Structure 1
Amino acid sequence: MGLELIVMTSLVLLWMAKTTSAGLNVSLAKEGCQAWCGGIRIPYPFGIGANCYINAMYSVECRRDKLYLTLLTGIKLEVLNMSVDSFAQFNGFAQVNNPILSRSCPGGNGSSDVVHGNTIVDLTGSPFTFSERSNVFISVGCNNHASVTNLVDRTTAQCISICDGSPDRDNSCFGINCCQTTPPGNLSYHLRVFNVNLSRIETYNQSGGVHEPCMYAFLVDKDWFRYNLTDPFAIRGMDHVPAMLEWNLFTMEPSQLGIPKYGGGSCGKELYEPSSNIHGVYCFCYSGYEGNPYLPYGCRGTFILGSSLLYFKVHL
């Protein structure tokens, strides 16, 4: 009579779903502070009221269910989206409404010296910069010469569009009725304030081209432009388009945040603006964790529980 012993091992894994800010509707705001304005989240270090933001540069306003950045220059920018996620070079981001510049449009008698729209949005003295990698500078129109100048280091980017009377248009903007260029700016001189110039490269001819006297220019979120405007002339009648801003904790130290050391996230320091030797603080959640790293224990993640069960089968 033989003895057979069979050992079977089963590992049971219990995967606990990610405890995300979206899944459990966890607030990204400081405790006791307004967490939403309309459909826009308000993540700390931003907030409404002196006890809800980290300092005055991160103060926001909620008016008629619309969220606004309140810049020290007096300009208010409507916020379309805001995130504490590491977006580019350890920066968070904010998507805002940015003005469109137009020239020679009906209503201004078609005169070349009539300009509509705010030509300058100044982010000086704020923690925000225009994202060079996520925005694109666009000019729409016939025989346009458009330029955008970084007013900090005076670098300029420009593009030219020629005329085409074809009704078939797309948003490729490679020089036919529409052109594009990368906005000026670099790690040493971030784009905080710029000026736009629009001019004709030749006399406009109503018998040719797209029969469009207007010239348009704007800095825009390139993904929004790509996926939302199949025809660049759809910006007729629009005053603003979405643009991307980057931010971090300007001129601060990690110790000022009071973030304890824990497994979910961490804060660091980087040279934010080399030309001015200005440092900034960025925080992030580790892989597998989500939430707001700027709050104590604000990053939440996944856990795996395991157990082993042994089964014996004996034959005599």
Structure 2
Amino acid sequence: MGLELIVMTSLVLLWMAQTTSARLNVSLAKAGCQALCGNISIPYPFGIGANCYINDMYSMECRSDKLYLTGIKLEVLNMSVERWPIWVQVNNPILSQSCPGGNGSADVVHGSTSVNLTGSPFTFSSSLNVFISVGCNNHARVTNLVDGTTAQCITICDGSPDRDNGCFGINCCQTTPPGNFSYDLRVFNVNLSRIETYNQSGGVPAPLIPCMYAFLVDKDWFRYNLTDPFALRGMDHVPAKLRWNLYNMESSQLGIPKYRGGYCGKVWYRSSSDIYGAYCSCSPGYEGNPYLPYGCRGTYILGSSLLYFKVHL
């Protein structure tokens, strides 16, 4: 008599995805190109040296372990290419300031500053940055010269030494920069002027600090790294985030094959115009540089099998 014993085993899905490109040890640079400047990764389409960047506006240079965008001459602090929103964090100059002159003379005012990134693929993001003014009796304004929209805020005086980074009108104010997805800040003007506010006794309170400042700053950096906005009075630069786009390029021009890890497509930047660009992203579970062929890497193990053993007794 034969007895058939069937033993069935099943290997179930095992999924494991690395969470950072550092763990995967994947270079973000084009093959044969410099991958790091100091501790900052240099992702294609940016690069250092001939044939390492997609066009001249993405050319970079490394000086004393500091990374710079050649075209707009700003120092780069960090970069993002893996998925939307894609950005470059730069060391952005304080845009406008006004300080009292010596010996009772008139204010030394640098109260109006214009910024023009026309011809570059970069804009100051209105969603990733915040417009800040620090000081006493400030009226700060930033105007988007593309669509004419303006954002402004006013500070009033308080001589109290107690302060934090709340920045809601007492010695410091903040507002969202003008702009949107279609009209981020590419060409804009910043103006800073004094106003008079009065305390309960009817006089103008003495300012806690004599100077006024206005600037665009990375809102996450401002929120999590700056406990006292008045510390900015000793700084010439603050971090800010630029969006970047591959304008007027088709995704086919990037030479990215279809594969599981990433994808490229076409994005329209203004629905009422013909401004478009190529955009790439890593798929969920993959990390790396989607702008390189097979640049998004992940570790997926999928196994499923049935093993049958027949034993005849």
TM-score relative to the length of structure 1: 0.87
Aligned to 1:149: 143
Task: Tell me which of 224, 227, 235 is aligned to 1:227.
Answer: 224
Give the 3-state SS of the residue equivalent to 1:86 in structure 2. coil
Aligned partners of 1:20, 1:227: CA distance in 2, in Å? 22
Aligned to 2:171: 177
What's the offset of the Cα at 1:247?
Answer: 1.0
Q: Is the counterpart of residue 103 in structure 1 residue 103 in structure 2?
A: no
Aligned to 1:38: 38
Aligned partners of 1:158, 1:14: CA distance in 2, in Å? 54
Q: Which runs of 5+ in 2 are unaligned?
A: none
Aligned to 2:252: 255
Matching residue's letter, 1:120 = S
Aligned to 2:279: 282
Aligned partners of 2:197, 2:65: CA distance in 1, in Å? 45
What's the offset of the Cα at 1:309?
Answer: 6.8
Give the 3-state SS of the residue equivalent to 1:96 in structure 2. strand
Task: Tell me which of 123, 131, 135 is aligned to 2:129.
Answer: 135
Matching residue's letter, 2:106 = S
Cα 1:17–1:262, aligned 2, differ >3 Å: closer, same or farther?
A: closer
Larger deviation: 180-189 or 301-310? 301-310
What's the offset of the Cα at 1:20?
Answer: 4.7
Give the 3-state SS of the residue equivalent to 1:22 in structure 2. helix
Aligned partners of 2:156, 2:188: CA distance in 1, in Å? 24
Task: Calculate percent identity across the aligned residue pairs.
Answer: 77
Aligned to 1:62: 62
1:110 and 1:213 in contact (8 A); partners too: no
Aligned to 2:261: 264
Q: Which runs of 5+ in 1 are unaligned?
A: none
Map 1:181-220 onto structure 2 (within 5 A): 181-202=175-196, 208-220=205-217
Q: Is the counterpart of residue 245 in structure 1 residue 239 in structure 2?
A: no
Give the 3-state SS of the residue equivalent to 1:87 in structure 2. coil
Aligned partners of 1:55, 1:204: CA distance in 2, in Å? 55
Aligned partners of 1:5, 1:108: CA distance in 2, in Å? 102
Aligned to 1:167: 161
Aligned partners of 1:167, 1:222: CA distance in 2, in Å? 24
Aligned partners of 1:148, 1:35: CA distance in 2, in Å? 37
Larger deviation: 215-224 or 105-114? 105-114
Cα 1:156–1:47, aligned 2, differ >3 Å: closer, same or farther?
A: same
Q: Is the counterpart of residue 114 in structure 1 residue 109 in structure 2?
A: yes
More strand by share: 1
Aligned partners of 1:187, 1:25: CA distance in 2, in Å? 34
